[in-house]
Amino acid sequence: MKILKKEGDTIEFLCFPEEDIEKGDYVLVKDGPKERALIAQVIDVQYANIPGILEDLLRDGISEISLTGEEVDPFRVSSQIAVLKDTRLLIAKIRGAMHSKVLSRDVSWLPSRIHAQVEIVSPNFLTKGLACKHPFELGSTRRLAVVTSDLSALDGRLNIITGRKGTGKSHLSKLMVTTLVNHGAPVVVLDVNGEYVNLGRTHDSGAVPSTRILSLIPGVNLRFSLDQIGLNTFLGILIHALSLPENSSRIFARIWHQLEQQDTLTMKALGSAISNSDCHESIKDALQARFNTLDDSGIFTNDRNAALNLEEVFRTHGSGIALVVNMKNQSATLRRITVELFINKLTDLLSSQKLRGLFLFAEEAHLYLRETYWDDIVTRMRHLGLFATFITNQPDTIEGGIYRQADNIFLFNFANEHDLDIVSKVAKLDGETIRMLVRELPPRRCLAVGDLVGNFPMVINVRPLDVQTLGATRYFFQEQMAVV
Amino acid sequence: MNEFVPYEHLSLGELPERLLRFCRLSIEGRRGEFLYAEPNVTDQLISSNYEGEGSLLEVGTVDDSEIIELTPTRTNRPVAAIDTSTIRLGELENGSLCALRGAIVKLEKNHYTYTRYGPLLFSLGNQSKTDQIPSLGIATNGGSNVEILLRRVRNSLERWLQLGVSKSMAGGLILVDGSLTAGTPDDPSEELENFLRVARRSENLVIAISKNTRLRIHDRSITAYLDQNSSRCLLDVDNRIKKQFAGYPIQFLGRIFVGKLARSGFPFRIDVDCTFSSEECIDGIGQLAETDLVDQGYPETLRVAHILSTFTSGDVLAMQSFATSLYGLQLLPKLALRRSLFGPFGTGWESRY
């Protein structure tokens, strides 16, 4: 390989046919005696623009189509000509440097074009800087059978997993969930498709699930008592999830306080108090309708023993647990109510230091997370110890500001220009790299960007999971499964 | 005679050992030298080859009645075309690194086949004791002009290929690029005569076709006289041309025509072995016009032979790289003198580099 030119952070190499290199690979440009090297990632492989190549190809075309013949080439010079025709141009982005064998971000110097040696490097070389206190196998690359990373790189971080459907986003998030749980972390999964519920079952464990994955179904085993959640949370649901006007919310607060003072705060009592309230009929109707919705959801109970005690659940599963909130087949309203309740409860636990930290995985969060929550989760709740991972196949449902604050981003395949435009704004990586690499990723392979890969973007084959993942796209014609 | 191998041992399956040895030894003697790459290689690639009569000639007048209508006749005669090319790859300390390639294209039973020879790399122009040119049987006449020597090496390979085709094919039409003019130091007439004799022995008819000619009548190129004629036709200019050269050592071994082989095609100078009668020559050209494809008036076999033997810029790069890796030549860009002296105001090719 030879350096052809460098412009900004883009460096181009001439690569000869016998050199095995693909998009996503890293090269080290050693500047000889100065003991320094540039680290560059190949983002595109093109044919080198060799003089006379058009004539060569036309000539080959003529002889291939209409002629048969033989070459009498005793010195085998033609093989050199063939090499030249297959010479490739590598477009690479400079990601860092090495100074006296230490990784560095100082890339302000230019290597010698004549004397520099260009060699392919293993991803292992790039991630060795990660402090592996909590190592886990993320997957593999073309050049490395096992890519090991550190769970600490997820701790306190905001993560985004995105890609078009069927490319393996959920698979990666399941890998992260099970790994975190196995390392003793508390995890909550907001599961809209019910695809995480079997994470506790390995392929050969049959009907005996792991006790560290707890599936919660709203209204069945996910229920709260009114004293558990308090007026503020309840009002929050009425206002944000059920759009209760401000006037009506004041009336409701008054009713709640009266019942509390009488120590008769139950769902039944609340219903009666609203019916018997002397407020304006329209307010009464508004309150009644919303109360009925909440009551019908089954998510509230007067029986404290039937209510979910989150604090107790996390306390008894100190060695790690994943609470999977299964919202499959639920109405949008019930999803919003459930999430509002759940996040409020988690915030309470984190604020009161009853929980040290929590990893939240939210699939297609735009379906149930109100707009004001996004910034709240990314900023305030992060300081409380709630570390979110958003998973979506519609990248435009996540605001640009959130992409810019993300610490780890996992990009699966996107072919759509609009989607690529959106993800190109990822702060930690240039748009050109994303466009070049992401467009051609096969299923289960992603471009990982961020702390988890030592801030050296890496194309990774996500490790297979030995659990019943569900959630895989279902096909009518089963043979398609082999293709996808 | 500068034949590489005796006629009896001629086989087209492999190149003559004498030529291969010449290539090998001529470069071996230059091992480790600097090779100054030619920046004007593309100029060589597009240079025109004239058929060799030298200056412009005035050959009298032409009457429209002299134009002969060509009657195309389909035959089963095989057609073979031979072409070669050379190029200078760069300058050595005392000489040049050159390359040679040749191709034979055959049309038999409506099927085209080819054999391509080379590229062969060799050095020329060294007058030291390591000079290998005499080993080819090529006369240097004490000179070391690379252009002249290169032309002679090329002619030698071309004659060898022509002889090989003449021997291996019978009853066919043999097409060569250029003319059947000989008698110059670069192209001795004995060699051309030998080729024509061997071809005749196998009942082959040799036809030479020139893409360019300097022959003129009334200040017009002889080919211009057929421009207005859209049909296939011939003009016999043999007598008029040969009269002009009565006192010259040049020998015309072909009967000279101007011919248009395809409707609305280009006219070309066509030389046919002059031992055949005029009628036989015209019949032969008619057979060629119908047996081979003659798109735009130029035979397909000859067109493909030209394409296969020509060097492209990519070939040049690859051969330079081959020479440096195999023979330890050290490639350096040639000093662009004009560029150095005049910068962007240089007027030659050097100002472009």
Q: How distant is the Cα of B67 from the closest Cα of chain A, in angstroms?
A: 35
Residue where a domain stops, chosen among A252, A276, A297:
A297
Interval A349-397: pLDDT, tens: 888 888 889 999 998 887 877 666 777 777 777 788 989 999 999 888 8
Q: Tell me the pTM.
A: 0.73
Give the integer Cα–Cα distance in Å for B324 and B320.
6
What does the alpha-carbon distance between residue A350 and residue A357 come to, in Å, rounded to a whole number?
Answer: 7
The pLDDT mean for chain A works out to 86
Closest CA to B50 of B180, B156, B182, B179: B179
**Does residue B54 have a pLDDT over 60?**
no
Shortest distance, CA B18 to any CA of chain A (angstroms): 13
A355 with A415, same domain: the answer is yes
Task: Please indicate, yes or no, whether residues A44 and A79 belong to a single structural domain of this protein.
Answer: no
Give me the number of domains chain A comprises. 4
Which of A51, A68, A78 is opposite residue B113, by nearest beta carbon? A68
pLDDT reported for residue A209 = 59
Long-range Cβ pairs for the range A227-234 (8 Å, 24+) = A227/A265, A227/A304, A228/A304, A228/A307, A228/A309, A228/A345, A229/A341, A229/A344, A229/A345, A231/A256, A231/A257, A231/A260, A232/A344, A233/A340, A233/A341, A233/A344, A233/A345
Residues A32, A66, single domain; the answer is: no
CA A133 to chain centre: 22
- Tens of pLDDT, residue by residue over B315-338, are 888 888 888 888 888 877 666 556
Q: What is the pLDDT of residue A331?
A: 87
Of residues A154 and B211, more confidence is placed in A154
Residue bearing the bigger pLDDT, B348 or A40 = A40
Residues of chain B neighbouring A70 (CB-CB closer than 8 A): 114-116
C-beta atoms of A67 and B105 within 8 A: yes
Instruction: Calculate how close chain A gets to B222, using CA atoms only, in Å.
Output: 31
Q: For position A339, what pLDDT does the model report?
A: 87
Q: Which residue of B has its CA nearest to A48?
A: B314
Going by C-alpha positions, the residue among A451, A452, A422 that lies closest to residue A434 is A422
Place of tokens 């005392």: B94
**Reported confidence tier of residue B38, pLDDT bands at 50, 70, 90:** low
Q: Residues of B with CB below 8 A from A52's CB? A: 45, 312-317
Q: Please report, for chain B, the start and end positions of each structural domain, with discontinuous segments joined by +.
A: 7-352
The verdict on a CB contact (< 8 Å) between A56 and B315 is yes
Give the pLDDT of residue A52.
Answer: 73
Alpha-carbon distance values, B163 to B3, B4, B106, B157, B166 (Å):
9, 11, 14, 10, 5
Q: What is the mean pLDDT of residues A432-458?
A: 91
Q: In the prediction, which pLDDT does A63 show?
A: 66
Chain A residues 84-143 with a CB less than 8 Å from chain B: 84-85
State the complex-level ipTM.
0.81
Ranking B18-27, B150-159, B217-226 by mean pLDDT, the lowest is: B217-226
Which residues form the domain of A71?
51-84
pLDDT exceeds cutoff 90 at A161:
yes
Test B120 with A75 for CB contact under 8 angstroms: yes
Residue A74 C-alpha, separation from nearest chain B C-alpha, in angstroms:
7
- Whether residue A130 is contained in a domain is answered as no
The CATH number covering residue A30 comes to 2.40.10
What is the phi/psi pair of residue B254, to 5°?
-125, 155
Hey, of A80, A85, A114, which one would you mutate to test binding to chain B, going by the most B CBs within 10 A of its CB? A80
The CA distance from A98 to the nearest CA of chain B, in Å, is: 32
Higher-scoring residue by pLDDT: A55, A461 = A461
Asked if the structure places residue A12 within a domain, the reply is: yes
Q: CB distance A75–B23 less than 8 Å? A: yes
The span from the CA of A84 to the CA of B59, in Å, is 49
Please give the residue that has the higher pLDDT: either B119 or A400.
B119
The residue ranking higher by pLDDT, B29 or A14, is: A14
Cβ atoms within 10 Å of B256's Cβ, excluding its own: 28
**Among A232, A178, A227, CA closest to A347:** A232
* Whether residue A36 is found in the same domain as residue A76: no
What does the pLDDT read at residue B329? Answer: 84
User: Over pLDDT 70: what percentage of chain B?
Assistant: 78
pLDDT tens digits for range A256-309: 999 999 988 889 999 999 999 888 888 999 999 999 999 998 899 888 888 888
CA closest to B14 among chain A residues = A72
d(CA B203, CA B221): 33
Bridge-based pairing state of the strands B220-221 and B215-217:
antiparallel
| Range scoring the smallest mean pLDDT among A183-187, A210-214, B126-130, B166-170 | B126-130
Q: Domain for residue A117, yes or no?
A: yes
| Element housing B106 (H / E) | strand B95-108
Same-domain pairing of A321 and A291: no
Number of inter-chain CB pairs under 8 A, A vs B: 96
Is A56 within the bounds of a domain? yes
Verify whether the Cβ–Cβ distance A53 to B23 is below 8 Å.
Answer: no
Inter-CA distances, B8 with B1, B117, B204, Å = 15, 20, 18
Question: A83 at the B interface (CB within 8 A)?
Answer: yes
| Mean pLDDT value across residues A2-30 | 92
Structure tokens at A18: 């016998």
Residue of B nearest to A75 (CA): B120
The answer to whether A57 contacts chain B (CB < 8 Å) is: no
Q: Are residues A347 and A436 in the same domain?
A: yes
Interface test with B, best of A50, A62, A68, A72 (most B CBs within 10 A): A72
Cβ pair A45, A88 in contact under 8 A: yes
Give the model's confidence band at B49: pLDDT under 50 very low, under 70 low, under 90 confident, else very high: very low
Q: Measuring CA to CA, how many Å separate A51 from each of A84, B309, B314?
A: 10, 17, 5
Are residue A350 and residue A413 in the same domain, yes or no?
yes
Residue A113 resides in a domain: yes
pLDDT of residue A484: 40
pLDDT of residue A366: 79
pLDDT higher at B134 or B307: B307
| Chain B residues near residue A59 by CB distance under 8 angstroms | 307-308, 312
User: What are A67-101's pLDDT values in tens digits?
Assistant: 888 889 988 888 888 888 888 999 999 999 988 88
Mean pLDDT over residues A116-127, rounded?
85
Domain end, chosen from A272, A297, A322, is at A297
Least confident of A150-154, A279-283, B238-242: B238-242
- Tell me the chain A residues in contact with residue B315 when contact means C-beta distances shorter than 8 Å: 52, 56, 81
A355/A312 same-domain check = yes
- Indicate if A183 and A168 belong to the same structural domain: yes
Interface mutation target, options A49, A54, A67, A75, chain B, most CBs of B under 10 Å: A75
Whether residues A379 and A235 fall in one domain: no
- Domain end among A297, A322, A353: A297
Of A50-54, B254-258, B259-263, B315-319, minimum mean pLDDT range: A50-54
- Chain B residue numbers touching A64 (CB-CB < 8 A): none
Report the b/e string of A15-25 with b at 16+ CB within 10 A. beeebebebbb
- Residues B177-233: tens digit of each pLDDT: 988 988 776 677 888 899 999 999 999 999 999 987 777 766 677 777 777 777 888
Residue B227: predicted pLDDT = 73
Q: How far is A116 from chain B (nearest CA, A)?
A: 18
Average pLDDT for A408-436: 87
Same domain, A216 and A274: no
pLDDT at B51: 45
**Burial (CB count within 10 angstroms: exposed 0-12, middle 13-18, buried 19+), residue A166:** middle
**B314: chain A residues, CB-CB within 8 Å:** 50-53, 55-56, 81, 84-85
> Which residues of chain A have a CB within 8 Å of the CB of B310?
55
Contact criterion met (CB < 8 Å) for B312 and A56: yes
Sorting pLDDT into bands at 50, 70 and 90, what band is B78?
very high
CA closest to A83 among chain B residues: B318
Considering the domain architecture, whether residues A329 and A205 belong to the same structural domain is answered as yes
Confidence grade of residue A422 (pLDDT, cut at 50, 70, 90) = confident
Are A241 and A338 a contacting pair, CB within 8 Å? no
Cβ <8 Å between A55 and B314 = yes
